Amino acid sequence: MNENLFSTGEPIADTAAPAGPIADRWTTRKFEAKLVNPANKRKKTVIIIGTGLAGGSAGAALGEQGYRVIQFCFQDSPRRAHSIAAQGGINAAKNYRNDGDSVHRLFYDTVKGGDYRSRESNVHRLAEISNAIIDQCVAQGVPFAREYGGLLDNRSFGGAQVSRTFYARGQTGQQLLLGAYQALLRQVDAGTVELHARHEMLDLIMVDGAARGVVVRNLITGALESYTADAVVLASGGYGNVYFLSTNAMGSNVTASWRAHKHGAYFANPCFTQIHPTCIPVSGEHQSKLTLMSESLRNDGRVWVPRNAGDHRRPADVPEHERDYYLERIYPAFGNLVPRDIASRAAKNVCDEGRGVGPGGLGVYLDFADAIRRLGTEAVKAKYGNLFTMYERITGENPYEMPMRIYPAVHYTMGGLWVDYDLQSTIPGLFVIGEANFSDHGANRLGASALMQGLADGYFVLPTTLGDYLARGPVGEVPAAAVEAAETRVTAMIAKLLSIRGDRTVDSFHRELGHIMWEYCGMERTEAGLRKALALIPALRAEFWERVTVPGSGDDLNQSLERAGRVADFLELAELMVIDALHRTESAGGHFRAESQTEDGEARRDDRNFSYVAAWEWNGGEPPTLHREALTYEYVQPSTRSYK
């Protein structure tokens, strides 16, 4: 089917995961890992790109262990990392509610929720570590909600029938990030972490095929700076902003991962992108981002639309018998708490039927009237007050008095750089953690699992596996020629962008790319649409390099230059995403191919032909090479994913 769109290479395998019973593998790996003598840790330098939950926790943990850490973020403070926007909660299998939860059930729910496209070993490790994460964060002072007996409170999230999500009102990401931030700043004060804000990674320094440093640009002065180390860790987040409009912070980008991809780091499952079902709908062309309303709202809010198409009455004027609580009707077992991919497609379907609400009919109601009658306004305010306030400020509508209007939007990317069980990429010495890697979520991420993965990787996994890498042999000095080569590449890229002096802004290209991606590689993908995108994207990329205008210079603060480099990378990534989506002719999780669905419109997987990780190799601008990592299931047998 490749039709010269890609070539097929040798299979790839995760050789780092131990054999044996799945419950023993992480314990086995930790014991088998070589250790670095405490006195020698001071001689080892690690570079970390990013200061969100994954990067911040990794910097704090490695600094605490005694390594010399050099850490970068492009924000003006580590506290501005996009992790701060996560609202709803973090999963853990503590079973405080005594409702049947366990490590194995969290493992099972995550593999099933990912539509059987994730590795069992990685997911089980994540479930095991989940409980230690909560203990760590409580010890740091994270103000989790508590129930009447003093235990930490839990609530439900999509894809689970137990209450395992720990939360701090609607500010969970912010509170967890502040915990990691204070631990990181403790290490800055101790002198083990050297922190650089307002610096952006633009290239890797490579020596004999291994990652040995980075070239960064000081975003205030424009100066290029090079730093070398024994290993490099990417914790730079996901690539959802390829769609232009997403719930991501406007600065979120793929540049660090993409520049590493060009040096040999395989990019895995790029088409697995998540559409979040509870976002404030698009209101016009003026918008540069979308606002997420926490999935936790689906605990008490009921989703509905009018039963009849074209019903434009005020929600209060629609009687109960003329409302369609479609998630409760179609999925009675899970109701409003079905996973995100299913809730998103269901919302799209009812809107396509002409039953959507609000401007353009692109919205559904999330109604709290029942919860307010049952619990009282003050109880609802205690659980969701800041989210309700945010919604009212953005829309001018009071959700205590009328239902919220929501619609799906791009939120999270399950794809990312390929890593093995040790979180090491196909480039030796380059480790990738958090949303920047592909490892734990398969084709769909369950709600409240992103924070869990970021902190598991940073606090608990990386300190063991990175230590093993550093203990396995000394690395030599970094030759000046390697640094010079990386700096030359970056200088040439900047000069090229500044020299074009065309007649179109960077944002106009980004917005057009986002429209193409949403239209043809969004919630529903078809062969015809993907092929159209494969014609449009290269043409848009060629036009970018002929007509983009980047005012100013590279010698000082220049945000147009920053955005231009990021959009240039998005234009290349977008083509790979579409190739990946076109080659995967099944439907799985967030990847829904219209040609592969059941009679009642549910996703139809093809386990016989697509039970693998698609790991893509860069070929210098020529068609990429596909390397398949076969997925095997010993403990959770793939079945038709049903939430009915």
- In sequence order, the β-bridge partners of residue 431 are 233, 424
How many angstroms from the chain centroid is the CA of residue 357?
Answer: 29
Half-sphere exposure of 373 (CA within 13 A, CB side): 5
Instruction: Check if the beta carbon of residue 173 is closer than 8 Å to that of residue 451.
Output: yes
Q: How many helices (H) and strands (E) does the chain have?
A: 18, 20
Instruction: Check if the beta carbon of residue 534 is closer than 8 Å to that of residue 579.
Output: yes
Instruction: Check if the beta carbon of residue 418 is closer than 8 Å to that of residue 265.
Output: yes
- In sequence order, the β-bridge partners of residue 410 are 275
- Segment (H or E) for 628: strand 622-630
d(CA 233, CA 70): 10
Of 640, 644, 643, 616, whose CA–CA distance to 628 is shortest? 616
d(CA 444, CA 110): 9
Q: Is 275 helix (H, G, I), strand (E, B) or coil?
A: strand
Of 392, 411, 394, whose CA–CA distance to 402 is shortest? 392
Please give the structure tokens belonging to residue 210: 């291994």
Residues 6 or more apart from 426 whose CB is under 8 A from it?
Answer: 12, 264, 265, 266, 418, 615
Please give the structure tokens belonging to residue 144: 């989790």
Instruction: Check if the beta carbon of residue 583 is closer than 8 Å to that of residue 519.
Output: no
d(CA 229, CA 78): 21
Catalytic residue among 340, 445, 593, 605: 340
Instruction: Check if the beta carbon of residue 310 is closer than 8 Å to that of residue 614.
Output: no
d(CA 537, CA 189): 47
Instruction: Check if the beta carbon of residue 110 is closer than 8 Å to that of residue 123.
Output: yes
CA distances from 500 to 187, 413, 560, 571 (A): 44, 32, 13, 17
d(CA 391, CA 400): 11
- In sequence order, the β-bridge partners of residue 615 are 268, 627
25 belongs to the catalytic site: no
Active site positions, annotated:
340
